[in-house]
Amino acid sequence: MTEAATSDAPILSEKARAALGGRNLIFIGLMGAGKSVIGRLVAQSLAVPFIDTDAEIEKVSRMTISELFAAYGETEFRALETRVIERLLKSGPRVISTGGGAFINENTRRQIKLGGVSIWLKADLDVLWERVSKRDHRPLLKTENPKQTLENLMIQRYPVYAEADLTVQSGNVRKDVMVNEVLAALANLPGASLPSEGEVQ
What count of residues does the chain have?
201
Of residues 14, 47, 45, 51, the one with CA closest to residue 175: 45
The yes/no answer on whether domain 13-188 falls in CATH 3.40.50.880 is: no
* Measured CA angle at 178 (ends 176, 183), to 5 deg: 95
pLDDT digits (tens, 9 = 90+) for 181-198: 999 999 998 654 444 333
What average pLDDT does range 13-34 have in this prediction? 92
Strand partners, 95: 25, 50
**CA-based nearest residue to 168, from 155, 187, 151:** 187
- Region for 173 from its dihedrals, namely left if φ exceeds 0, alpha if ψ lies in -120 to 50, beta otherwise: beta
* pLDDT tens per residue, range 133-188: 766 555 555 666 778 888 999 999 999 999 999 999 988 888 889 999 999 999 99
Under 8 Å between Cβ of 119 and 35: no
Q: Average pLDDT, whole number, for the chain?
A: 84
Confidence of residue 199 (pLDDT cuts 50, 70, 90): very low
Residue 62 and residue 30 in contact, taking contact as beta carbons nearer than 8 Å: no
Contact predicate 194/22, CB 8 Å: no
